[in-house]
Amino acid sequence: MNAEGYYGKENFTHDDHQALANMLKGHVMVTHYQNGLYDRLYQGWHKYTFESFKGSRKADAGEEKPKTVGVLYCNFQPEVNSRSLFNGL
């Protein structure tokens, strides 16, 4: 099975998520809203959480989009390079 078969599907099943997790090779980053299924599938990976807005929900006029917790899973230790706005000045 190749990853291209997943794109265009309306919804992933739990089996689809499991199959995708099994086929990931090399250095991989996966991001998703926080949930137990992903915590189990990517157990042992580096996990970083961040606050985000729910991108799939449209806000009504004058309403702010609801916030959620996003998670980034990495099967490698990412190198973080911070740069100052004024580096090199």
Give a three-class secondary structure readout of the chain.
CCHHHHCCCCCCCHHHHHHHHHHCCCCCEEEEECCHHHHHHCCCCEEEEEEEECCCCCCCCCCCCCEEEEEEEECCCCCCCCCCCCCCC
Contact 38, 71 (CB under 8 A): yes
- The pTM score is 0.68
The mean pLDDT of 14-34, rounded to a whole number, is: 90
Q: How far apart are CA 66 and CA 54, in angstroms?
A: 6
With bands split at pLDDT 50, 70 and 90, how would you rate the model's confidence at 71? very high
With bands split at pLDDT 50, 70 and 90, how would you rate the model's confidence at 1? very low
